[in-house]
Structure formats: C-alpha cells, structure tokens
Amino acid sequence: MNASEPASITGIRETADVESATDAYAARFSGPVGTWLLAVQERLTLDLLADLPGATVLDVGGGHGQLARPLARAGYAVTVVGSDASCRHRIADLVDAGACAFQTGNVLDMPFAPGSFDATLSFRLLPHCAAWPALIGELCRVARRRVVVDYPTSQGLNAVAPALFGAKKKLEGNTRAWRPFRHAEIESAFAAHGFRPLRRTPQFFLPMVLHRTLKCRPVSAAMESACAALGLTRRWGSPVIAAFERTQPV
C-alpha cells in the first residue's frame, strides 16, 4: 500500500476485535498478575499521550476496555469503534455514564472524516488483522496528530513463539493465532501515510504467558525489573507500544 491507495479494502470486514471484547478474553487479565500486566500497558500508553491533555481519542477495536477506562479517567474524550454491537458490552457502564462514546463500524473503513480525532490507537488488534496495512491506513486517516499501536515483535524470545504456539494454546485455552512484526515493516506502513516514529517502548522481556502461568505478581515484577536493568527489555522486549506523529497536513 502506498500513500495514493485508499486506506480501506472495499468489501472486507475485520472482526478480530469481537473476541477481545468478550468476558472470556478479559479473564486472561484477571487476578493480580493480569492487573499488573494491564497497569504496565496503561502507564506506557498514557505517557505517550501526556503532551496531548484532554485530546479527542479514537480507540479502534477497544471494546475490551483496557485503555478506554484509564483514558477516560485521565480526562481524554474517548470514542471506541467496534466491528459489532457486542463490542460495547464491557464498556457499557462508561458509555451509559457519558464517559465514553461507542460506535459500530468496519475498522477497515471507519465512519469518520479525515482528521476527526487528535489521536487514534489500537491495541490487541494489529497482530490478528490479516489486512493490517489497511488498518494502519485507517488509523492514520482519521488521526490529526498521533497514532499509538501495540504489536509483538519477531525478535528476542518471540522468534521461537510460532513453534511454541501449541503449548501456549494448551496453557491459555483461548489463544488466537497472531502475527509478529519487524519494526521496519510497521514504520514503512506508517511512512506511506505521512507518519514518522515518535517513540517505541517495549513492555516485557519475558513472554506474557509465562507470567500468567506463574501467577505470582512479585516474582514476575522482579524478573522483569532485572531484565530491564540488564537492557534486555529495551533491546528485545515485546510487545511494544509505538507512537507515530503526523508529518503531513490532513
């Protein structure tokens, strides 16, 4: 895809966000370890938006509520777009209270004009989206200033992840197939739409499935602190949270 091509793919719908908006998916982040995993994600994401206080933010595929809630608490004007009405379920209390808006739509062809939001973000979606360049195109199209995404990398311990997928599925039960990325291919996709890398922050060095299996937040936190101190997380950590800044006018 290049800058002259449309962001969306006519006739194709992406619905990977339906599963991540379910109670069963949320159970993967239950308990002290799950709370800690999400707290790391929340802290890093809010830091990447700290210079945009009160901004309008579109959370694409964010029916899981992992970021809609902290963003709303932090004073951002949040809209979540989901590919099905069922994606409203886990954020219904926020929507009903007026703390967050929700709209149903195809995330590859969103019902918003170019530059409708100060920032767009999408978590838990990119690695499950076959048409991921089109998703990036749509995120860029409706963002006035910034796009923030998370994605697993194909480096470090993730290099052997495909071979261990069967074991991971047995441990977690509801694991979905996913695609790791090279940083260069993500950056190239954003560059095609006039966005440059702003900052990229790895979340963990050790696989998240290991932390879920250990079920001991102090041990996991200590191991990750040690990995960070040794520089392992900065160099090989995954998934990463990456922010991109617009370089061309909307």
**pLDDT tens digits along 110-164:** 999 999 999 999 999 999 999 999 999 999 999 999 999 999 998 766 665 555 5
Cis bond before residue 239 (omega within 30° of 0): yes
Which range, of 87-96, 160-169, 234-243, averages the lowest pLDDT?
A: 160-169
Residues contacting 33, CB < 8 A, separation 6+:
211, 212, 214, 215, 216, 217, 220
Residue at token pair 């959370």: 59
**For residue range 35-75, what is the model confidence (pLDDT) as tens digits?**
999 999 999 999 999 999 999 999 999 999 999 999 999 99
Which residues, in sequence order, are CB contacts of 190 under 8 Å at separation 6+? 136, 140, 147, 196, 197, 244
Residue 182 has pLDDT above 90, yes or no: yes
Report the alpha-carbon distance of residue 12 to residue 25 in Å, rounded: 24
The domains of the chain, with CATH numbers, are 17-245 (3.40.50.150)
Name residue 100's amino acid. Answer: C
**C-alpha span between 106 and 14 (Å, rounded):** 7
CB 196 within 8 A of CB 15: no
Give the predicted TM-score (pTM) of the model: 0.88
Query: Quick check: 169 pLDDT over 60?
Result: no
Q: Which residue has the higher pLDDT, 233 or 12?
A: 233
Q: Is the pLDDT confidence value at 215 over 80?
A: yes
Amino acid letter, 177: A
Mean pLDDT across 189-196: 98
Q: Is residue 238 pLDDT above 70, yes or no?
A: yes
Structure tokens at 84: 């099905």
DSSP code, position 111: S
Cα–Cα dist 219/209, whole Å: 14
User: Is residue 249 very low, low, confident or very high in pLDDT (cuts 50, 70, 90)?
Assistant: confident
CA distance 173 to 190: 33
Per the prediction, the chain carries an average pLDDT of 90
